[in-house]
Amino acid sequence: MELVQKLIETHDLTKDEFAELIRASEDPGTAGLLGEEAVKLRKQYYGDKVFTRGLIEFTNYCKNNCYYCGIRAGNKNADRYRLTKEEILECCSQGYALGYRTFVLQGGEDPWYTDEKIADLVRTIKSGYPDCAVTLSIGEKPYESYRLFREAGADRYLLRHETANEEHYGMLHPASMSLKVRKQCLYDLKELGYQVGAGFMVGSPWQTPEHIAEDLVFLKELQPQMVGIGPFIPHHDTRFAEEPAGSVPLTLFLLSVIRILLPKVLLPATTALGTMDPLGREKGLLAGANVVMPNLSPVRTRKKYELYDNKICTGEESAQCLGCLERRVKSVGCVLAKERGDAVQ
Can you give the binding site for ligand SAM, defined by CB under 6 A? 68-69, 106, 108-109, 137-139, 159-160, 162, 201, 230, 232-233, 235, 272, 307-308
3-state SS, the chain, equals CHHHHHHHHHCCCCHHHHHHHHHCCCCHHHHHHHHHHHHHHHHHHHCCEEEECEEEEEECCCCCCCCCCCCCCCCCCCCCCECCHHHHHHHHHHHHHHCCCEEEEEECCCCCCCHHHHHHHHHHHHHHCCCCEEEEECCCCCHHHHHHHHHHCCCEEECCCECCCHHHHHHHCCCCCCHHHHHHHHHHHHHCCCEEEEEEEECCCCCCHHHHHHHHHHHHHHCCCEEEEEECCCCCCCCCCCCCCCCHHHHHHHHHHHHHHCCCCECECCHHHHHHCCCHHHHHHHCCCCEECCECCCHHHHCCCCCCCCCCCCCCCHHHHHHHHHHHHHHCCCEEECCCCCCCC
Site track 36-75 with ligand FES (rule: CB under 6 A), x = hit: --------------------------x-x-x--x-xx---
- Rounded to a whole number of angstroms, the minimum distance from the CB of residue 291 to ligand FES is 21
Nearer to ligand SAM, 224 or 230 (CB): 230
Nearer to ligand SAM, 69 or 132 (CB): 69
Residue 144 CA to residue 163 CA, distance in Å, equals 25
Q: Which does 72 bind (CB under 5 to 8 A by kind): ligand FES, ligand SAM, none?
A: ligand FES
- Rounded to a whole number of angstroms, the minimum distance from the CB of residue 135 to ligand SAM is 11
- Rounded to a whole number of angstroms, the minimum distance from the CB of residue 73 to ligand FES is 7
Q: Which of residues 91-110 bind ligand FES (CB under 6 A)?
A: 108-109
Nearer to ligand FES, 13 or 185 (CB): 185
Nearer to ligand FES, 66 or 189 (CB): 66
Q: Residue type for 99, please?
A: G
Q: Which does 232 bind (CB under 5 to 8 A by kind): ligand SAM, ligand FES, none?
A: ligand SAM
* C-alpha distances in Å from residue 79, one per residue of 70, 259, 303: 11, 37, 9
Nearer to ligand SAM, 126 or 160 (CB): 160
Q: Which does 302 bind (CB under 5 to 8 A by kind): ligand FES, ligand SAM, none?
A: none
Nearer to ligand FES, 115 or 342 (CB): 115
- Rounded to a whole number of angstroms, the minimum distance from the CB of residue 13 to ligand SAM is 24
Q: Which of residues 205-264 bind ligand FES (CB under 6 A)?
A: none
- Rounded to a whole number of angstroms, the minimum distance from the CB of residue 211 to ligand FES is 20
- Rounded to a whole number of angstroms, the minimum distance from the CB of residue 36 to ligand SAM is 28
Residue 183 CA to residue 6 CA, distance in Å, equals 28
Q: Which does 160 bind (CB under 5 to 8 A by kind): ligand FES, ligand SAM, none?
A: ligand SAM
Contact footprint for ligand FES (CB under 6 A): 62, 64, 66, 69, 71-72, 108-109
